[in-house]
Amino acid sequence: MSKSKPIHQNIFNIKNNIWYAYSNDESLHCESQSLLTELSDIITIKEPMILKLPCGRPVRCSNVQLPSTTCSDTT
């Protein structure tokens, strides 16, 4: 993996909707809003992790709006 440009000091986009995130002292709280309902998914990041966020949906992590990614086959 080549180093990607950080979206936030603790969030890096690896490829499409695959992200590397970590927290220093405070947990990161990421919320993915559904486009069809008012329900949202919430992820709390307390340690380093690689995660796949839903594509085509707005995601906000601790006051940082992540860019929406296009749904594509990543296999």
pLDDT for the residue 1: 45
Distance (Å, rounded) from C-alpha 56 to C-alpha 7? 17
pLDDT at position 48: 93
The whole-model pTM stands at: 0.68
* Spatial separation of the C-alpha atoms in residues 12 and 3, rounded to whole Å: 8
Question: CB 16: neighbour CB atoms within 10 A?
Answer: 15
Residue 8's nearest CA partner among 25, 17, 16, 20 is 20
Q: Which two tokens stand for residue 23?
A: 């927290």
3-state DSSP assignment of residue 36: coil
pLDDT tens-digit readout, 1-39: 445 555 667 888 888 778 888 887 888 888 887 767 676
- CB atoms under 10 Å from CB of 43, counted, come to 15
Give the domain ranges of the chain.
6-54
